[in-house]
Amino acid sequence: MKKSTEIIPESVRQIVAELREQIHYHNYRYYRLNDPEISDSAYDELFQELQRLEREYPQLVTPESPTQQVGAEPLEAFRPVTHHRPMLSLESSNEDRILEDFHRRVLEAAAGKTAEYLIQPKVDGVSVELVYEDRRLSRAATRGDGFTGEDITLNIRAISTVPKTLSPSAPATVVVRGEIFMPVEGFRTLNEELITENNKPFANPRNAASGSLRQLDPAITASRPLQLFPFELTNADELGYMAESDCLKDLKQWGLPVPSEATEKGASPRDMEAIHHRYQTSRDQLNYEVDGIVVKVDSLPLRVTMGSRTRTPRWAVAYKFEPRQEVTRVAKIIAQVGRTGKLTPVALLLPVDVGGVTLSRASLHNFGEVKRLDLRAGDTVRIQRAGDVIPQVMEVIKPGAPRSEPFLPPKSCPVCDSLVVAEGAYHKCPNRFGCSAQIHGSISHYSSRMALDIEGLGEKTITIFLHKGLISDLASIYNLSQDKIASLDGFGDLSAQNLIGAIEKSRKPELHRFLYGLGIPNVGEKTAADISRHFGTFAAIRRATGEQLLEVEGVGPIVAQSIVDFFASPPVSAELDRLLDEVSPQEIEIQEPSRAELTGKTFVFTGTLERFSRLEAQRRVESLGGRASSSLSSRTTYLVHGPGAGSKLEKARQLGIQLLNEREFLALIGEKAE
């Protein structure tokens, strides 16, 4: 039931803000670090609760909410690439009603006619878009945020199983979507090699594939056993196809490795369930990880009729498997202190093998979960793993005998002994600057890849430096000396020199990276970037009022108050002053506000422009709220053409796309032609 006209309780706003913070954090762990902390099902619970609250209070929905986004923003180590067509996510569930609901929706759209479905295994890998021009692989990108991905062309070309050219029978331009995955056997061999070399092994094949694609050295990617599972011809409608099954047959003829399991068909929920059951019962015998099936309408015209939501198409769903489960015993329950001081209960388990991974601990999310399960040390429990290494405790099967005392939130911090304070459903240690766990977390976050990116200052190194008294806060990082580092066990002159070099390189950080690196509650990467573009300097951000912060698109009252409270804290202010003696965040030009005329519109450029290069024109459009693409489709709004325009101009006329010359384009974006 929607409550759009009612006043929203502050408690609801707080819960929504906390859910978004958690989901953004877990997206970061999953998409960026390839190191998830919670199971798929636990993530789904958080996401579905946020969706429920946003349906109930629709005025809380913002473009920055995880429910309105796909994946994560592209990494800055790779050039951003605009996708030929948005790479959306899929509606997913492991409940069989998803098939009935989907089938009913399809029949309604088909006006009662029968519809055929393509049923494919949901390979657990990394989604990529491959573009072949003149039948040669010209560009490859990760999904990124669904609209813009990371340019990984060199790395994809390094994978021997990905064809670099297509057969002469293929069209000149072919856009393919597929999954890059690592076979199970290859994953095990890779992890054995990493462990032998004293490197951290990957948690699962999906993380191994993702990490391999994000290598800055393509030679490393080439050494990894990666394969391609193509499942879609993205520009099928432009090539005149009517059914995706026909597309897949032709993709195979053109040289792409389309497996037979990508082309199975069905016409009813019973067909879908039968294929789902077959994969679920044989999943451990497959040479790739699969966590469900994907069911898609085969008819391309019917897909157009059904359309898409913000982040998911209406013409496809993912029917996921029940997570793998095992039984073990809880040896102990502890409270773990995070970067923000939040205490999280963790169950230490007797080691148990779940789907080929040995597990010994499980996050319990919050103390309410411990109470709900009535979980205690000594209990025998059922745990499940849904594709990652951190399991979820599902239920207590057998209480310990004798039963131990209930595990309650500690009254004092287990790390620094400060009195714990309750904040809603959470418990926190308030000793931000004296609790070693929070100091460790703060420095780790500050030096992470998406913040200051201080290579070599990882968690183990931070632990050693804190123990030896070499660092105590963020500013102290810049007082480290090469001689002291080199004298420590496990370090040498070269590693010490490299670390000092990385620290020195971070003295002039980009403004949004610095702001994100401070770890302000409720301020993720995107919010930090939006605030930085709005204010331009750190000094302006630091002195901004709540009212001024609310002028930033996507910043609501809770986020604004978090920022104001952060900078108003005397200990924070003192630490910032020390830090700013060492670093100088770069200033940026304040971004112009979006133009309503460009919002939601897609531009393609062809020919020569006088005022801008093509790349500059694309960036200009995106800075004003529009989208830029390199390929024409029926979804293109404008084709901007200059002298030397080629076949795109004629194709745009055939598709009925509005044409703009450079003078008309300049008028649209509010600039005068010279």
Domain boundaries, the chain: 10-68, 80-320, 324-427, 436-505, 511-580, 602-668
Q: Return d(Cα 289, Cα 206) in angstroms, integer.
A: 8
The pLDDT of 306-321, averaged and rounded, is 87
428 given a catalytic annotation: no
Could you tell me which CATH number the domain at 602-668 has?
3.40.50.10190
pLDDT score for 509: 94
- For residue 576, pLDDT over 80 is answered with yes
Residue given tokens 């766990």 in the structure block: 437
- For residue 555, pLDDT over 90 is answered with no
SS3 168: coil
SS3 275: helix
Lowest mean pLDDT among 114-118, 211-215, 376-380: 211-215
Lowest mean pLDDT among 77-81, 312-316, 365-369: 77-81
The pLDDT of 647-671, averaged and rounded, is 85
Q: Is it true that the peptide bond before 521 is cis, omega within 30 degrees of 0?
A: no
Which of 94-98, 337-341, 502-506 tops mean pLDDT? Answer: 502-506
- For residue 213, pLDDT over 70 is answered with yes
The pLDDT of 445-459, averaged and rounded, is 88
pLDDT score for 470: 94
Q: Return d(Cα 665, Cα 454) in angstroms, integer.
A: 42
**One-letter amino acid identity for 316?**
A
Tokens of 346: 């963790």
Report which DSSP code applies to 120: E
Report which DSSP code applies to 262: G
The pLDDT of 185-196, averaged and rounded, is 82
Tokens of 607: 């020919």
Q: How far lies 461's CA from each of 60, 108, 197, 201, in Å?
A: 41, 59, 18, 18
Mean of pLDDT over the chain: 85
- For residue 317, pLDDT over 70 is answered with yes
- For residue 40, pLDDT over 80 is answered with no
Tokens of 496: 């010490």
* CATH 3.40.50.620 is held by the domain 436-505: no
Long-range contacts of 422-428 (CB under 8 A, 24+ apart): 424/11, 424/14, 424/15, 424/18, 425/18, 425/366, 425/368, 426/18, 426/342, 426/343, 426/366, 427/342, 427/343, 427/367, 428/340, 428/341, 428/342, 428/343
Q: Return d(Cα 235, Cα 202) in angstroms, integer.
A: 34
pLDDT score for 362: 85
pLDDT score for 390: 61
- For residue 116, pLDDT over 60 is answered with yes
pLDDT score for 187: 87
* Cβ–Cβ under 8 Å, residues 296 and 308: no
pLDDT score for 68: 64
Confidence bin at 271 (pLDDT 50/70/90): very high
Q: How far lies 69's CA from each of 49, 88, 144, 618, in Å?
A: 16, 9, 10, 21
Question: Which pTM value belongs to this model?
Answer: 0.53
Which has more pLDDT, 661 or 31? 661
Residue of 3, 122, 505, 526 marked catalytic: 122
Could you tell me which CATH number the domain at 10-68 has?
1.10.287.610
- For residue 500, pLDDT over 90 is answered with yes
The pLDDT of 513-533, averaged and rounded, is 87
Query: Which residues lie below 8 Å from residue 168, measured CB to CB, with a gap of 6+?
Result: 135
pLDDT score for 4: 44
In the chain, pLDDT over 70 holds for what percent of residues? 89
Q: Which CATH class is domain 80-320?
A: alpha beta
Confidence bin at 510 (pLDDT 50/70/90): very high
pLDDT score for 201: 73
Which has more pLDDT, 64 or 481? 481
Residue 574 CA, chain-centre distance (Å), reads 34
pLDDT score for 594: 55
Which has more pLDDT, 418 or 147? 418
* Cβ–Cβ under 8 Å, residues 102 and 118: no
Q: Do domains 511-580 and 602-668 have the same CATH topology?
A: no
Choose the CATH number for 324-427 among 2.40.50.140, 1.10.1760.20, 2.30.110.10, 3.40.50.300: 2.40.50.140
What are the residue ranges of helices labelled H in 214-282?
218-222, 244-253, 269-282
The pLDDT of 157-164, averaged and rounded, is 90
pLDDT score for 593: 53
Q: Return d(Cα 359, Cα 348) in angstroms, integer.
A: 9
Lowest mean pLDDT among 94-98, 132-136, 299-303: 94-98
Q: Which CATH superfamily is domain 511-580 in?
A: 5' to 3' exonuclease, C-terminal subdomain (1.10.150.20)
SS3 464: helix
pLDDT score for 1: 45
Length of the chain: 674
**One-letter amino acid identity for 44?**
D
SS3 455: coil
The pLDDT of 269-286, averaged and rounded, is 89
- For residue 549, pLDDT over 60 is answered with yes
The Cβ of residue 473 has, within 10 Å, a number of other Cβ atoms equal to 15
Confidence bin at 673 (pLDDT 50/70/90): low
The pLDDT of 418-436, averaged and rounded, is 86
3-state secondary structure 385-429: ECCCCCCEEEEEEECCCCCCCCCCCCCECCCCCCECEEECCEEEC
pLDDT score for 74: 42
Q: Nearest Cα to 330, choosing from 269, 271, 373?
A: 373
Query: Which residues lie below 8 Å from residue 48, measured CB to CB, with a gap of 6+?
Result: none
Strands 290-297 and 117-123, sheet pairing = antiparallel
Q: Return d(Cα 649, Cα 158) in angstroms, integer.
A: 35
Tokens of 257: 């490795």
pLDDT score for 204: 77
Lowest mean pLDDT among 245-249, 428-432, 457-461, 552-556: 552-556
Q: Return d(Cα 134, Cα 132) in angstroms, integer.
A: 7
* Cβ–Cβ under 8 Å, residues 212 and 224: yes
The pLDDT of 537-541, averaged and rounded, is 94
Q: Return d(Cα 197, Cα 89) in angstroms, integer.
A: 37
- For residue 602, pLDDT over 70 is answered with yes
The pLDDT of 552-559, averaged and rounded, is 80
- For residue 217, pLDDT over 80 is answered with no
